[in-house]
Structure 1
Amino acid sequence: MPAKKIIQREMPKVGLHETVIPYAEVVKWVNDKSVIIYGNIKGNRIPSRILEEFIQEAVKNGARNIHVYADGQHGIGGRIFSQGEPVKITIEGPVGQRCGSMGMFGTEITVRGGVSDDVGWINCGAKITVLGDATNGAWNAAAQGILYVQGSGGARCDTMTKHNPRFDPPQSWYLRDVGDSFAEFKAGGIAVVCGINPRNQKSVLGYRPCVGMVGGVIYFRGSIDGYSERDVKLLEISEQDWQWLCDNLKPYLTAIERMDYYHELTKSPDEWRKLVPYTPQERRRKRWFKVEMEDFRKNYWEKEVGKGGIFAEYIDHEPTIIPYIVTGQYRRYKPVWANEKYAPPCAYSCPTNIPTHKRTALIRLGKIKEALELVLNYSPLPATVCGMICPNLCMQACTRGRIDIPISVKELGKASPDLPAPKKAKSTGHSVAVIGAGPAGMSVAWQISLKGHNVTMYEATDKIGGKIELCIPEHRFNKDILHKEIERFKEVVPDIRLNTKVTKELFEEIYRENEFVVIAVGAHQPRKIPFPGSEHIISAYEFLRAINEGKTFDLKDKNVVVIGAGNVGMDASVEAFLCGAASVTAVDIQKPAAAFGTEFEQAKQKGVEILWPKITEKYVPGERKIYFKDGTNIDADFVIMSIGDIPDLDFIPPQIHTERGWMVVNEFFQTSDPKVFAIGDVTGLGLVTHAIGHGRLLAEYLHGELMHSPVTRDLRARIPYERIKLDYYERCRATSSLEQEAERCLSCGSCRDCHMCEMTCYWGAISRVEKSDGRYEYVVDENKCIACGFCAGVCPCGVWEMVENI
C-alpha cells in the first residue's frame, strides 16, 4: 500500500494541556480506497473544522469509502467533490448539526443512527440516508439530491427547498412523521411522509405545515390536522403520482432497511394524498379575507364610529325589524341570470374545449353551416378525431346520458370532412416553428396560422398525421377522410418540410430564425422490458406501423401473445387476428384499465383472451413459449410488446429540462427555455384529443405573447349536474337528423330562451330584454322581486341562481 501523506494537527486546549494529534491516530487506511477516521482520540474530541480537513485530505488521496466515528462534529460529509467516482461515507456515533451540508453530486452519506439539526442543509446533490430520526431543519434550503430518513423529522423540515430545473427535483422521505412548520416557504422538490407508526397520531405533518409554500409537492399517508389553506390545496393522487410512489418506495425502503413495509405502503392509492401550492394565477384569483365583514362591523367599525355607523343619524327605523315579504335591498337573497357562468360538462370534459352546446344551439336556430364550421376554430381534424377515433370524453360527461343516451358528438364530427378551410387573418409577420406534424403539431400550426402568423413545420417522415397516419389500423377509421382533412390543413399551413429529421444543428438554426419553437414530435420510441428472449419480440409501434405501410405478417395458425392490454395492445391484438393468428392472448401485470371504447370491443369480438396479473419472466423462441414469474407459461409463436412509447429527444440541447424521458413544461407548455414550448405525447402519453387541445391552448398563449395582448383562458367550473332539471326532458333515443339531435341537448348552463322563468314569476319581476346586436338577456326588477327562488327552481338549464344580497 503506498504511503499516505502525514498530517499534524494542533488541537485546542483540553483542560490545561495543548495536544498534537498525529495523522496516523486519526486516519486508519484499510486499503487504497477505504479509510476509517476517528472523531475522538484518547478522550480528546477533534474540532469539526479539523475533522473536515482530514476527510477532505483522505478524498484527495484516493479514499472512496470513508467510515467516520463521530463525536458530535458538524457538517460531516459536506462540500466533497467526488471527481467522477462516488464517495461513500458511513457515520457512527453522535452526529452534530448540518450533516452533509452543501453535499455535492457523487457523495453518498449513511448515518447509522439519528442526526442533529439541519441535516442536508443547502444540499447540492448528495444522497443522505439516516437510519434513525432527523431533528429540526432537516433538508433546509436543499436544491438537489435525496434525503432518506428511517424515522421522523423534527420541526421546520423541508423549509425553503427549491428546484434547479437543470436537475431532478430534490427528494426527502420520512417513514414516520414530521414536526411543526413543515415545508415552510418550500419552493420546489418532492417530500414524502409515509405515516408508519407516527408520533403524532392526529397529524403526520405536524402543526401549520406549508406556510408560504410556493413550489414542489408533498405526498403523505395518514391524518393531518390542518394546513395553510391560503398557500396550498389538498388533492387526491393521480395514477402518475401512484406509479411514481410505487417505483420510488422500493429504493427508499431498501436504503433504510425497511423493505418489509412496502406492501403496507402500496396497498391502495386511496391511503395517500398530496399537497401542492396554488399557482400565481390561482393566487391572484383568490381573495383572502382575514376578518368577516360582520365581525369587522361589530368589533372594529362600530367601536370607532358608534353603533349604526356614520349614517346612524339618518336611519329612521329600527334596523332589525324587516317585513316578512320584502323587495329591493331588504331581500336576504336575490336571483341572478348567470348565463354561461358555468362550463357545460361536454366542453369542460373535452381537452380541446369544443363547445358542443353552442353548435347544437346554432342548429336549433337553423344555422347548420355555422354550427359545423364552428368546430374548425378548435380542431383541424374534427371528422377524423371527433367523428371516428376519439373516445369522446364529451359524450361520457354529457348530462343527457342521465336520461337516455348522450348527444352524438360523433355525428357532428362525421358531418365535417368537406368543410372549406377557414379564412386566415391578415399576416402579422411573426414566425413560429413547429417540429413534428402529428396531431399536436398540426393543431398548434393550424391555430397560429389562422391568427395570421407564419408557421414552418418540420416532419421526419414523408407524411403528416403522426400516429393517426402511421399506427392506427385502417379498420378503425376511414383514411380517406383523414386525407381530406390533411389537404384542408395544407391550405392553411403550406410550409411543411417533410423527410426532415431535426438534428441538434438544425434545431439551433430553427431556434435562431424563429420567435418561438414548438416541439411536438410525439412518442415514437418503443419502450421494452429487458428479459431473456426479449430481443426476439417486436414492439406494438413497429408492428402497427409496418402494417400501415403495407407490410404483411404471416401469422396463419400461430399463437400470438401481446404483453400489455391497453388501447394499443388491443389494436395490435386485432391486427394479429387479421394477419391470420389462430389465437391472441393479451397479458398485463394488473387488471386492464387503460383499454376502452372501440379498441376493447373489437378485441373482445375477435376473441382476444386477457390474462392478469402476469409478469413475464422469459421468452424461449425455440420452445415457442413465454414463461411468467408465477410459474405458468403459454404457447407463443409470435410476441408483441405494448407497454407504451417514449419520445426521441436527441436533438434538444441540455439546457432544456426533461424528467424520466419526457419534456417538462409549465401550465403554458413552456420548457425551461422560455422560447421553446412542448405539447402532446412528448410531455406524457395522452389521447389524440389531448394533443389537439394542447395545440389550441398553446396557440392562444403564443398569440398573446406575439401581439402583446393579455392571454385569457376559460377557467369556469363545470356546472353541477344537480342544477339541470331532468324532469322537463322526455326519453328520446332515436334521431334521424342533426336537427333532432340538437333538440335533445339540455343546453347545460346556457339559456335556451324558453321563457319559463318569465312565465313562472307571479309578481312579473322578470322580463326578456333584446339587445341591439341581436343578443338577449333576462333581467330582474328588484322593486318587484320577493326572492322566492321560483325562477332558479324552474330553469331547465340551471342558468338562474340565488345569491346573497349584499
Structure 2
Amino acid sequence: MGKVTGFMEYKRQSQHTRDPGERIKDWDDYTIPLTEEEVQEQGARCMDCGVPTCHTGMEIENGTSGCPVYHLIPEWNDLVYRGQWREALKKEHEMNNFPEFTGYTCPAPCEGACVLGINEPPVAIRTVERSIIDKGFAEGWVQPKPPKQRTGKHVAVVGSGPAGLAAADQLNKAGHNVTVYERDDRPGGLLTYGIPEAKLPYHIVERRIQLLKDEGITFVTNTKIGEDITADKLREDNDAVILCTGATQHRDIPAEGSHLNGVHYAMDFLHSNTKSLLDSDYEDGEYISAEGKNVVVIGGGDTGTDCIATSMRHGCKNLTQFDIYRKRGDERDVEANPWPQWPIVHRDEYGHKEAAAVFGKDPRAYGVMTTRFVGDDDGNLKEVHTVEVESKKEKDGRRIRKEIPGTEQVWPAELVFLAIGFSGPEQSLIEQFGVETTDWSTVKAEHEDYRTNVDGVFSAGDMRRGQSLVVWAINEGRGVARECDRYLMGSTVLP
C-alpha cells in the first residue's frame, strides 16, 4: 500500500500547529492542515504490510491497540497517495460514520499498532484520516443520502454523543424512523460540551448533525428522559429503545475541603465555558472564569489538558497540573510495554505547550497526590496541600501508592478542576428503565449483543462499557444498531 519505498523516502509529518503563545488569544482550531502534497506523502509512508495491525482494534493489558472501528487504513492511505481522494472518502465512511470526530479527537491507537512504528515513527494515520473528510466536505462530496424506503419501525435513541449518533445513523440507513433525545440544548453530548472549541470546533459537530437531520433523523433537545418523558412512555411509543447516555457520574477526590468554593469538576468547567461561548461569546457571564487566578488541574489525561487550554485562553495567573504518575520516558519500555500496545511514553499535548509558552515550563507536577484543600474564612479556596507518592508492588501483585515523607508542599490556588475521570453512568434513568447493572454500575449488556434484561431495550457506549474513547463509542453505536435492527426485522443487513 502507498509507495513501495515511501516509508524510506518521507519523514512523518502530522498536522502543523499555530504558535502556542498566539493561539491562546482565540478559540479557533489550533492546528493547520497539511497541503495535499504533504498528505499524499504521508499516505505513501504506509507499507505493504503482510499482516497490517493498525486497523484491527483489540484491548491488550487494559489498553486499546489498533482501530476499534476496523478502519480500512491501508486502503485509504494508498488511495490518497494516488490522488484518488473521493474513493478514499468512500473507504473512510465504510467503517466509520464520523471520521471527522475521530480525526480531530482520537488519540490514534491505530498509530501505536502501525508496523512501521516498531522501529520508525509510525504513519500519520489520524492526519490522513482528517484530511480526507475535511476535503470531502470542502468539495461537497458529503451529501445527505436518505433511505429509499421506510420500515415503519420507530426507535428512540437516548443520548446524542458519538455512540447515540452512530446508532441513529445506522438505523436510519436501514429505513427505521429514529428519534434522538438529548437533555442539553444542543446535540453532540461530550463532543459538543466536553471538548473545547480549539480542539473540536462546534461547526464540525453541527454540520454532521445537520446532515443526519437532512437524512431523516429527528432530534429532540432540552428533554430529560425519565423526567420530561417517562421510560414507560418512551417504550410505549417506540418499537425499541437504545440507551447511550454515557458515563457522566463524576469521580470524587477523597480529600478534606473538596466542598470549598473554587473546587469544580472538570466537565462542569468545560461545559459552562463552551455553552457561554456559543450562546453569547461570554456576554452572559454564565461560566467559570479562570482569569487572573492560580489554577490547579488534578488529573493527567485528555480532559485535564483541555482544562489547561481553556484556562490559558481565559488568561489565568498561573497554572499547575498534578499527575499521580511519575514522568514517563520518551521511548517505550519494550519489555513492559511492547508493540503493538499503545506506547506509554511522555507526551507534550497542545495545552502543555501553551502553558509552557506563557509560563516558561512544563505545567505538570509528577508523582503528586492531593491531601487536602484549604479555604479562607468565607469558604473560598486559597491553597492545595500535596505530597509526593511512589508506586509499590505488593507480594500479591497489587500496586499501591505510598507517600514519600518530607515531600509535602502547599500550592496557592483559587480554582481547582478535578479531571480524574468518571465512575460510571448516572443511575436514575437506569433505575426507571429497570435494566440490570454490573458491579461497576454500568448497564449489563454483552459487547456485540447489547441487549439488556428488558425486552426491546439496548445499551451501548460508555454507559455500557464505562469511560472510554470516542472511537469505541462509534464501534458500539454501530454494533447496537445492528442488533437492534436484527431484533426489529428478524435479520439484518447492517455490518
TM-score between both structures, scaled by the size of structure 2: 0.68
Asked whether the 8 Å contact 2:309–2:354 carries over to 1, the reply is no
Q: Distance in 1 between matches of 2:83 and 2:303?
A: 41
Aligned pair partner of 1:627 in 382, 385, 404: 385
The aligned counterpart of 1:509 is 233
The alignment status of 1:414 with 2:124, answered yes or no, reads no
Q: Which of 368, 371, 394 does residue 110 from structure 2 map onto?
A: 394
**2:428 is the counterpart of 1:650:** yes
Hey, what's the Cα distance between the residues in 1 that align with 2:163 and 2:429? 19
Cα distance in 2 between the residues matched to 1:569 and 1:677: 32
DSSP-derived class of the 1:415 partner: helix
Give the corresponding residue for 1:433. Answer: 156
SS at match of 2:234: helix
- SS of aligned partner of 1:485: helix
Aligned to 1:696: 478
The correspondence for 2:349, drawn from 600, 604, 615, is: 600
* Match of residue 417 from structure 2: 640
> Aligned pair in 2 of structure 1 residues 343, 555: CA closer, same or farther (>3 Å)?
closer
**66, 73, 76: which is aligned to 1:356?**
73
* Equivalence map 1:133-144=2 (5 Å): none
Contact preservation (8 Å) 2:272, 2:288: no
Q: Which residue of the partner structure matches residue 447 of structure 1?
A: 170
Listed one character per residue, the Cα deviations across residues 147-181 of structure 1 (whole Å, up to 9, x for unaligned) are: xxxxxxxxxxxxxxxxxxxxxxxxxxxxxxxxxxx
Do the aligned partners of residues 363 and 605 (structure 1) sit closer, same or farther apart at CA in structure 2, a change above 3 Å counting? closer
CA 1:528–1:356 in 2, change beyond 3 Å: closer, same or farther? same
Rate the CA distance shift 1:566–1:638 in 2: closer, same or farther, 3 A. Answer: same
Are the aligned partners of 1:380 and 1:485 in contact in 2 as well (CA < 8 Å)?
no
Q: Match of 2:429, SS?
A: coil
Q: Aligned equivalents of 1:388 and 1:705: distance in 2?
A: 34
Q: Could you tell me how far 1:638 is from its partner in structure 2?
A: 1.4
1:595-651 CA deviation, whole Å, 9 max, x = no partner? 999982432442352223333221112272111355322211211111113422302
Q: Which amino acid aligns with 1:647?
A: P
Q: What is the Cα deviation at residue 341 of structure 1?
A: 11
CA distance in 2, matches of 1:423, 1:373: 17
Does the Cα contact within 8 Å between 2:250 and 2:265 map onto a contact in 1? yes
Structure 1 residue 424: deviation in Å? Answer: 1.9
Gaps of 5+ in 2: 1-47, 58-65, 277-285, 329-341, 357-361, 388-402
Is residue 556–residue 581 contact of structure 1 (8 Å, CA) maintained in 2?
A: yes
Partner residue in 2 for 1:573: 308
Aligned counterparts, 1:227-626, within 5 A: 344-348=53-57, 349-360=66-77, 367-383=84-100, 385-401=101-117, 405-406=122-123, 407=125, 408-417=128-137, 418=140, 419-503=142-226, 506-536=230-260, 537-550=263-276, 551-591=286-326, 600-607=349-356, 608-622=362-376, 624-626=382-384
Is the CA contact (8 Å cut-off) linking 1:443 and 1:695 kept in structure 2?
Answer: yes
Residue pairs, 1:59-70, within 5 angstroms? none
**1:694 is paired with a residue of what secondary structure?**
helix
Whether contact under 8 Å (1:446, 1:493) holds in the other structure is no
Paired residues of 1:433 and 1:517 also in contact (CA < 8 A): yes
**Higher RCO (C-alpha 8 Å, min separation 6):** 2
Q: How many residues align?
A: 374
- Residues in 2 aligned to 1:463 and 1:570: alpha-carbon distance in whole angstroms: 24
Cα distance in 1, alignment partners of residues 275 and 346 from structure 2:
25
Segments of 5+ residues of structure 1 without an aligned counterpart are 1-338, 714-806
User: What aligned pairs does 1:105-184 form with structure 2 within 5 A after superposition?
Assistant: none
Q: Please tell me whether the aligned partners of residues 312 and 354 of structure 2 are also in contact (alpha carbons under 8 angstroms).
A: no
Write the distance in 2 (CA, Å) between the matches of 1:495 and 1:599.
Answer: 41
- Measured at CA, do residues 413 and 701 of structure 1 come closer, stay the same or move farther in structure 2, by a change above 3 Å? same
Higher helix proportion (structure 1 or 2): 2
Write the distance in 2 (CA, Å) between the matches of 1:691 and 1:592: 29
1:679 to 460, 479, 486: 460
Q: Is this contact kept in 2: 1:533–1:621, CA < 8 A?
A: yes
Relative to structure 1, the CA distance from residue 414 to residue 397 in structure 2 (aligned partners, 3 Å threshold; closer, same or farther) is farther
Corresponding residue for 1:164? none
One-letter amino acid of the counterpart of residue 432, structure 1: V
Q: 1:467, CA displacement in angstroms?
A: 0.7
- The one-letter amino acid of 1:610's match is R
CA deviations over 1:536-560 (Å, ceiling 9, x no partner): 2111001011110124544344221
Distance 1:356 1:374 in 2: 9
| Offset at residue 426 of structure 1 (A) | 2.3
Identity of aligned residues (%): 27
Query: Deviations for 1:664-722, whole angstroms, at most 9, x for unmatched residues?
Result: 22121222324221111212001111111111122222223333227897xxxxxxxxx
* TM-score (structure 1 length as normaliser): 0.43
Q: Is 1:380–1:489's contact at 8 Å kept on the other side of the alignment?
A: no
> Relative to structure 1, is the Cα distance of residues 428 and 711 closer, same or farther in structure 2, using a 3 angstrom cutoff?
closer
Q: Report the CA distance shift for 1:358/1:708 in structure 2 as closer, same or farther (over 3 A).
A: farther
| 1:567–1:599 contact (8 Å) kept in structure 2 | no
* Aligned residues of 2:174 and 2:494 also touching (Cα < 8 A): no
Q: Deviations over 1:757-783 (max 9, x none)?
A: xxxxxxxxxxxxxxxxxxxxxxxxxxx
**Cα deviation, residue 663, structure 1:** 1.6
Amino acid corresponding to residue 382 of structure 1 in structure 2: P
Q: Is the 8 A contact 1:567 1:596 kept in 2?
A: no
Deviations 1:309-364 (A, max 9, x none): xxxxxxxxxxxxxxxxxxxxxxxxxxxxxx99967522542112221233345557
The 5 Å alignment of 1:195-214 reads none
User: Do 1:663 and 1:671's aligned partners in 2 also have CA atoms closer than 8 Å?
Assistant: yes
- The equivalent residue for 2:10 is none
What code does the residue aligned with 2:324 have? I
Deviation for aligned residue 1:365? 7.5
User: Which has more radius of gyration?
Assistant: 1
C-alpha distance in 2 between matches for 1:626 and 1:340: 51
Aligned equivalents of 1:596, 1:538: Cα separation in 2: 29
Pairwise CA RMSD: 3.1
CA change 1:636–1:694 in 2 (3 A) is: same
